């Protein structure tokens, strides 16, 4: 079945599937509050948190408002 497909064709098929999957996920999470910035694939927003979180959370409150969304762990995107 896969004998006729080249490595490039398989790569393109995989890339298109990933892009469609990401597009579908991005459409399903539009109702979330604002996010404080870049969400890293493995760490999420954990890189923003320091030992004393009060100054960081106060800065995020000024930046995003009273309610904001933080992903603590792997991102869904």
Same domain assignment for residues 37 and 4 = no
pTM of the model: 0.51
- Residues 28-52: what's their mean pLDDT? 81
- pLDDT for the residue 53: 86
25 has pLDDT over 90? no
What φ, ψ does residue 44 adopt, rounded to 5°?
65, -130
Same domain assignment for residues 43 and 63 = yes
Name the residue range of residue 45's domain: 33-77
Same domain assignment for residues 41 and 67 = yes
- Residues 53-60: what's their mean pLDDT? 89
Close Cβ partners of 22 (under 8 Å, ≥ 6 residues apart): 77
- Would you say 4 and 55 are in contact if contact means Cβ atoms under 8 Å apart? no
Task: Cite the DSSP H helix spans in 1-77.
Answer: 7-28, 53-64
């Amino acid at each position: 079945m896969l004998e006729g497909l080249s490595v490039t064709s398989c790569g393109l098929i995989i890339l298109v599937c990933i892009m469609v999957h990401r597009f579908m996920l991005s459409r399903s999470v539009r109702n979330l509050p604002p996010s404080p910035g870049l969400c890293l694939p493995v760490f999420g927003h954990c890189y923003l948190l320091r030992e004393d979180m009060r100054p960081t959370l106060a800065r995020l409150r000024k930046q995003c408002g009273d309610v904001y969304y933080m992903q603590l762990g792997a991102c869904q995107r």
